Protein backbone atom coordinates (compact mmCIF):
# COMPACT_ATOMS: atom_id res chain seq x y z
CA UNK A 1 0.00 0.00 0.00
CA UNK A 2 1.13 3.54 -0.74
CA UNK A 3 -0.10 6.70 0.95
CA UNK A 4 -3.57 7.73 -0.10
CA UNK A 5 -3.88 10.85 -2.25
CA UNK A 6 -6.52 13.47 -2.76
CA UNK A 7 -7.67 13.54 -6.36
CA UNK A 8 -10.54 15.03 -8.29
CA UNK A 9 -12.28 14.02 -11.51
CA UNK A 10 -14.10 16.78 -13.38
CA UNK A 11 -15.97 15.49 -16.42
CA UNK A 12 -15.73 17.60 -19.58
CA UNK A 13 -19.08 16.63 -21.03
CA UNK A 14 -19.73 16.73 -24.79
CA UNK A 15 -22.98 18.27 -25.99
CA UNK A 16 -25.51 16.04 -27.76
CA UNK A 17 -27.13 17.43 -30.89
CA UNK A 18 -29.98 15.89 -32.82
CA UNK A 19 -29.26 15.11 -36.50
CA UNK A 20 -30.80 18.46 -37.57
CA UNK A 21 -28.44 20.29 -35.19
CA UNK A 22 -30.66 21.32 -32.29
CA UNK A 23 -29.65 20.72 -28.66
CA UNK A 24 -30.80 17.44 -27.13
CA UNK A 25 -31.24 18.62 -23.56
CA UNK A 26 -32.95 15.43 -22.40
CA UNK A 27 -29.95 13.33 -23.43
CA UNK A 28 -27.59 15.87 -21.86
CA UNK A 29 -29.48 15.63 -18.57
CA UNK A 30 -29.44 11.83 -18.73
CA UNK A 31 -25.67 11.90 -19.31
CA UNK A 32 -25.16 14.11 -16.27
CA UNK A 33 -27.29 11.75 -14.19
CA UNK A 34 -25.08 8.90 -15.41
CA UNK A 35 -21.88 10.56 -14.20
CA UNK A 36 -23.36 12.04 -11.02
CA UNK A 37 -22.21 9.30 -8.65
CA UNK A 38 -18.79 8.91 -10.26
CA UNK A 39 -17.20 12.34 -10.68
CA UNK A 40 -16.66 15.45 -8.60
CA UNK A 41 -18.19 17.88 -11.04
CA UNK A 42 -18.68 18.81 -14.68
CA UNK A 43 -17.09 21.36 -16.98
CA UNK A 44 -19.87 22.42 -19.32
CA UNK A 45 -19.48 24.01 -22.77
CA UNK A 46 -15.72 23.64 -22.93
CA UNK A 47 -13.69 22.47 -25.91
CA UNK A 48 -15.19 18.97 -25.70
CA UNK A 49 -18.59 20.67 -25.56
CA UNK A 50 -18.01 22.36 -28.95
CA UNK A 51 -18.49 25.78 -27.36
CA UNK A 52 -17.68 27.78 -30.54
CA UNK A 53 -20.83 26.26 -32.10
CA UNK A 54 -23.09 27.34 -29.22
CA UNK A 55 -24.75 30.70 -28.79
CA UNK A 56 -25.01 32.24 -25.33
CA UNK A 57 -28.65 31.25 -24.84
CA UNK A 58 -27.76 27.61 -25.57
CA UNK A 59 -24.83 27.69 -23.18
CA UNK A 60 -27.11 29.02 -20.46
CA UNK A 61 -29.60 26.24 -21.20
CA UNK A 62 -26.85 23.67 -20.75
CA UNK A 63 -25.65 25.35 -17.55
CA UNK A 64 -29.20 25.25 -16.20
CA UNK A 65 -29.44 21.52 -16.88
CA UNK A 66 -26.15 21.10 -15.02
CA UNK A 67 -27.55 22.98 -12.03
CA UNK A 68 -30.76 20.95 -12.10
CA UNK A 69 -28.95 17.59 -12.17
CA UNK A 70 -25.68 18.13 -10.30
CA UNK A 71 -26.31 21.26 -8.25
CA UNK A 72 -24.74 24.65 -8.86
CA UNK A 73 -21.67 23.95 -6.74
CA UNK A 74 -20.61 21.01 -8.97
CA UNK A 75 -20.91 22.92 -12.26
CA UNK A 76 -17.92 24.72 -13.76
CA UNK A 77 -19.31 26.92 -16.53
CA UNK A 78 -16.93 27.68 -19.37
CA UNK A 79 -17.29 31.33 -20.43
CA UNK A 80 -14.68 31.41 -23.20
CA UNK A 81 -15.26 34.08 -25.84
CA UNK A 82 -13.21 36.29 -28.11
CA UNK A 83 -13.71 39.46 -26.07
CA UNK A 84 -14.22 40.48 -22.46
CA UNK A 85 -17.52 42.12 -23.47
CA UNK A 86 -18.86 38.73 -24.54
CA UNK A 87 -17.34 36.95 -21.52
CA UNK A 88 -18.97 39.35 -19.07
CA UNK A 89 -22.35 39.17 -20.79
CA UNK A 90 -22.30 35.38 -20.50
CA UNK A 91 -20.96 35.55 -16.95
CA UNK A 92 -23.88 37.71 -15.87
CA UNK A 93 -26.39 35.19 -17.19
CA UNK A 94 -24.46 32.32 -15.66
CA UNK A 95 -24.31 33.95 -12.24
CA UNK A 96 -28.07 34.47 -12.37
CA UNK A 97 -28.42 30.66 -12.45
CA UNK A 98 -26.58 30.42 -9.12
CA UNK A 99 -23.32 29.16 -10.62
CA UNK A 100 -20.18 30.57 -8.99
CA UNK A 101 -17.46 28.43 -10.60
CA UNK A 102 -16.28 29.84 -13.95
CA UNK A 103 -13.65 28.57 -16.38
CA UNK A 104 -12.17 31.00 -18.89
CA UNK A 105 -10.04 30.07 -21.89
CA UNK A 106 -7.15 32.47 -22.39
CA UNK A 107 -7.48 35.00 -25.25
CA UNK A 108 -7.53 33.39 -28.67
CA UNK A 109 -7.36 33.92 -32.43
CA UNK A 110 -5.90 37.45 -32.42
CA UNK A 111 -2.61 37.66 -30.49
CA UNK A 112 -2.11 39.82 -27.41
CA UNK A 113 0.74 40.56 -25.01
CA UNK A 114 1.29 39.45 -21.42
CA UNK A 115 -0.59 42.42 -19.97
CA UNK A 116 -3.50 41.69 -22.28
CA UNK A 117 -3.69 38.11 -21.00
CA UNK A 118 -3.72 39.24 -17.37
CA UNK A 119 -6.33 41.94 -18.02
CA UNK A 120 -8.59 39.43 -19.79
CA UNK A 121 -8.87 37.42 -16.57
CA UNK A 122 -8.87 40.50 -14.35
CA UNK A 123 -11.97 41.87 -16.09
CA UNK A 124 -13.95 38.77 -15.11
CA UNK A 125 -12.61 38.81 -11.54
CA UNK A 126 -13.55 42.47 -11.11
CA UNK A 127 -17.04 42.01 -12.50
CA UNK A 128 -17.75 38.91 -10.40
CA UNK A 129 -15.68 39.25 -7.21
CA UNK A 130 -17.44 36.38 -5.41
CA UNK A 131 -16.90 33.87 -8.24
CA UNK A 132 -14.28 31.12 -8.26
CA UNK A 133 -12.41 31.38 -11.56
CA UNK A 134 -10.30 28.74 -13.31
CA UNK A 135 -7.84 29.76 -16.00
CA UNK A 136 -7.91 27.46 -19.02
CA UNK A 137 -4.73 27.15 -21.10
CA UNK A 138 -4.81 25.31 -24.44
CA UNK A 139 -2.04 26.67 -26.71
CA UNK A 140 -2.94 24.55 -29.74
CA UNK A 141 -6.46 26.00 -29.79
CA UNK A 142 -5.72 29.60 -28.77
CA UNK A 143 -2.54 30.11 -30.75
CA UNK A 144 -0.76 31.44 -27.66
CA UNK A 145 1.67 29.94 -25.17
CA UNK A 146 1.14 31.38 -21.71
CA UNK A 147 4.33 31.31 -19.68
CA UNK A 148 4.45 30.17 -16.07
CA UNK A 149 5.40 33.73 -15.09
CA UNK A 150 2.27 35.15 -16.74
CA UNK A 151 0.10 32.43 -15.24
CA UNK A 152 1.51 33.39 -11.84
CA UNK A 153 0.31 36.94 -12.41
CA UNK A 154 -3.12 35.66 -13.41
CA UNK A 155 -3.35 33.37 -10.39
CA UNK A 156 -2.50 36.28 -8.06
CA UNK A 157 -5.77 37.97 -9.05
CA UNK A 158 -8.58 37.89 -6.46
CA UNK A 159 -10.97 35.06 -7.20
CA UNK A 160 -8.60 32.83 -9.17
CA UNK A 161 -8.83 29.35 -7.66
CA UNK A 162 -7.28 27.04 -10.22
CA UNK A 163 -6.06 26.29 -13.72
CA UNK A 164 -6.77 23.65 -16.34
CA UNK A 165 -3.92 22.69 -18.68
CA UNK A 166 -4.68 21.09 -22.03
CA UNK A 167 -2.58 20.08 -25.03
CA UNK A 168 1.03 21.19 -24.80
CA UNK A 169 0.39 23.03 -21.55
CA UNK A 170 -0.35 19.71 -19.84
CA UNK A 171 3.27 18.70 -20.50
CA UNK A 172 4.48 21.52 -18.21
CA UNK A 173 2.54 20.64 -15.06
CA UNK A 174 5.44 20.99 -12.64
CA UNK A 175 6.44 24.37 -14.07
CA UNK A 176 2.90 25.75 -13.80
CA UNK A 177 2.28 24.15 -10.40
CA UNK A 178 5.27 26.04 -9.02
CA UNK A 179 3.58 29.43 -9.51
CA UNK A 180 0.28 28.54 -7.83
CA UNK A 181 -0.59 29.91 -4.43
CA UNK A 182 -1.57 27.77 -1.44
CA UNK A 183 -4.90 26.03 -1.97
CA UNK A 184 -5.12 26.72 -5.70
CA UNK A 185 -6.01 23.75 -7.89
CA UNK A 186 -4.31 22.40 -11.00
CA UNK A 187 -6.06 20.09 -13.45
CA UNK A 188 -4.71 18.40 -16.54
CA UNK A 189 -6.76 17.81 -19.66
CA UNK A 190 -4.65 14.70 -20.31
CA UNK A 191 -6.97 12.19 -18.70
CA UNK A 192 -4.73 9.20 -19.43
CA UNK A 193 -2.21 10.15 -16.75
CA UNK A 194 -4.06 10.89 -13.50
CA UNK A 195 -1.43 9.31 -11.18
CA UNK A 196 1.33 11.29 -12.90
CA UNK A 197 -0.69 14.49 -12.62
CA UNK A 198 -0.96 14.00 -8.86
CA UNK A 199 2.74 13.18 -8.59
CA UNK A 200 3.56 16.47 -10.34
CA UNK A 201 1.54 18.48 -7.85
CA UNK A 202 -1.79 18.52 -9.65
CA UNK A 203 -5.27 18.17 -8.18
CA UNK A 204 -6.80 15.87 -10.81
CA UNK A 205 -8.02 15.77 -14.39
CA UNK A 206 -10.70 17.45 -16.43
CA UNK A 207 -11.64 14.41 -18.44
CA UNK A 208 -13.77 14.17 -21.53
CA UNK A 209 -13.45 10.40 -21.57
CA UNK A 210 -14.88 10.17 -18.04
CA UNK A 211 -18.25 11.28 -19.43
CA UNK A 212 -18.42 8.08 -21.47
CA UNK A 213 -16.52 5.82 -19.04
CA UNK A 214 -17.47 7.27 -15.62
CA UNK A 215 -17.28 3.97 -13.76
CA UNK A 216 -13.68 3.41 -14.86
CA UNK A 217 -12.52 6.84 -13.72
CA UNK A 218 -14.43 6.50 -10.47
CA UNK A 219 -12.63 3.24 -9.72
CA UNK A 220 -9.27 4.86 -10.51
CA UNK A 221 -9.97 7.80 -8.21
CA UNK A 222 -11.04 5.45 -5.42
CA UNK A 223 -7.88 3.38 -5.87
CA UNK A 224 -5.70 6.49 -5.67
CA UNK A 225 -7.52 7.67 -2.57
CA UNK A 226 -7.02 4.29 -0.91
CA UNK A 227 -3.38 3.94 -1.94
CA UNK A 228 -3.84 0.36 -3.20
CA UNK A 229 -0.93 -0.02 -5.64
CA UNK A 230 -2.28 -3.12 -7.37
CA UNK A 231 -5.70 -1.57 -7.90
CA UNK A 232 -4.13 1.70 -9.06
CA UNK A 233 -2.10 -0.13 -11.72
CA UNK A 234 -5.09 -2.12 -12.94
CA UNK A 235 -7.53 0.77 -13.07
CA UNK A 236 -4.97 3.15 -14.58
CA UNK A 237 -4.44 0.66 -17.39
CA UNK A 238 -8.20 0.52 -17.96
CA UNK A 239 -8.49 4.31 -17.99
CA UNK A 240 -5.52 4.72 -20.34
CA UNK A 241 -7.05 2.15 -22.68
CA UNK A 242 -10.34 4.02 -22.76
CA UNK A 243 -8.54 7.29 -23.48
CA UNK A 244 -6.49 5.73 -26.28
CA UNK A 245 -9.66 4.44 -27.91
CA UNK A 246 -12.13 7.29 -27.37
CA UNK A 247 -10.08 10.40 -26.71
CA UNK A 248 -9.25 13.14 -27.40
CA UNK A 249 -11.62 12.95 -30.38
CA UNK A 250 -15.07 14.47 -29.76
CA UNK A 251 -16.61 12.26 -32.43
CA UNK A 252 -15.17 9.11 -30.85
CA UNK A 253 -16.50 10.21 -27.48
CA UNK A 254 -19.91 10.68 -29.06
CA UNK A 255 -19.83 7.15 -30.45
CA UNK A 256 -19.23 5.93 -26.89
CA UNK A 257 -21.97 8.14 -25.47
CA UNK A 258 -24.39 7.02 -28.17
CA UNK A 259 -23.64 3.42 -27.21
CA UNK A 260 -24.50 4.26 -23.59
CA UNK A 261 -27.64 6.25 -24.30
CA UNK A 262 -29.07 5.13 -27.63
CA UNK A 263 -29.32 8.79 -28.71
CA UNK A 264 -27.71 9.94 -32.00
CA UNK A 265 -25.12 12.37 -30.48
CA UNK A 266 -24.56 14.34 -33.68
CA UNK A 267 -22.10 17.24 -33.88
CA UNK A 268 -22.43 20.75 -35.29
CA UNK A 269 -18.79 21.35 -36.06
CA UNK A 270 -16.84 19.90 -38.98
CA UNK A 271 -15.29 17.00 -37.09
CA UNK A 272 -13.62 13.84 -38.46
CA UNK A 273 -15.75 10.75 -38.98
CA UNK A 274 -15.10 7.53 -37.06
CA UNK A 275 -14.60 4.42 -39.19
CA UNK A 276 -16.78 1.36 -38.69
CA UNK A 277 -14.04 -0.78 -37.12
CA UNK A 278 -13.26 1.83 -34.50
CA UNK A 279 -16.94 2.34 -33.78
CA UNK A 280 -17.29 -1.38 -33.10
CA UNK A 281 -14.26 -1.31 -30.79
CA UNK A 282 -15.62 1.67 -28.88
CA UNK A 283 -19.03 0.08 -28.39
CA UNK A 284 -17.37 -3.10 -27.10
CA UNK A 285 -15.27 -1.05 -24.67
CA UNK A 286 -18.35 0.75 -23.37
CA UNK A 287 -20.04 -2.57 -22.69
CA UNK A 288 -16.93 -3.89 -20.93
CA UNK A 289 -16.11 -0.83 -18.83
CA UNK A 290 -19.69 -0.11 -17.81
Express each pLDDT in 190-212 by its tens digit.
Answer: 999 999 999 999 999 999 999 99
With cut-offs at 50, 70 and 90, classify the pLDDT of residue 290: confident
Arithmetic mean of pLDDT, 86-112: 98
Question: What percent of the chain is modeled with pLDDT above 70?
Answer: 99
Percent of the chain with pLDDT over 90: 97
Average pLDDT rounded to a whole number, residues 277-281: 97
pLDDT given at position 5: 76
Mean pLDDT for the stretch of residues 272-289: 96
- Start-to-end CA distance of the chain, whole Å, equals 27
The answer to whether residue 4 scores a pLDDT higher than 90 is: no
Task: Examine the pLDDT at 2 and tell me if it is beyond 90.
Answer: no
The residue-averaged pLDDT of 30-57 equals 98
pLDDT-derived band at 94 (thresholds 50, 70, 90) equals very high
- Pairing type for strands 41-44 and 8-13 reads parallel
Is the distance from CB of 197 to CB of 162 less than 8 angstroms? no
The CA-based diameter of the chain, rounded to the nearest angstrom, is: 52
Average pLDDT, stretch 214-234? 96
Inform me whether the pLDDT recorded for 284 exceeds 70: yes
Q: Taking residues 132-143, what's their average pLDDT? A: 98
Query: Over 80: is that where the pLDDT of 150 sits?
Result: yes
Please tell me the predicted confidence (pLDDT) of residue 83. Answer: 98
Kindly report the average pLDDT of the chain as a whole number. Answer: 96
Q: What is the pLDDT of residue 96?
A: 98
Q: How confident is the model at residue 1 (pLDDT cuts 50, 70, 90)?
A: low
Amino acid sequence: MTASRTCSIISAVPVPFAPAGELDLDTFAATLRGIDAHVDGALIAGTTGEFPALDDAERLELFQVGVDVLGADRVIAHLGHGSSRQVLRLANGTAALGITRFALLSPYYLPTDDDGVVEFFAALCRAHPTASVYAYLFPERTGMDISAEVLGRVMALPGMVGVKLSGGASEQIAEYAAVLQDGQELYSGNDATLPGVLDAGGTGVVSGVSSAFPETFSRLAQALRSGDEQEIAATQADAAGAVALAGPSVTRLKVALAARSGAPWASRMALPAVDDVTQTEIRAAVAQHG
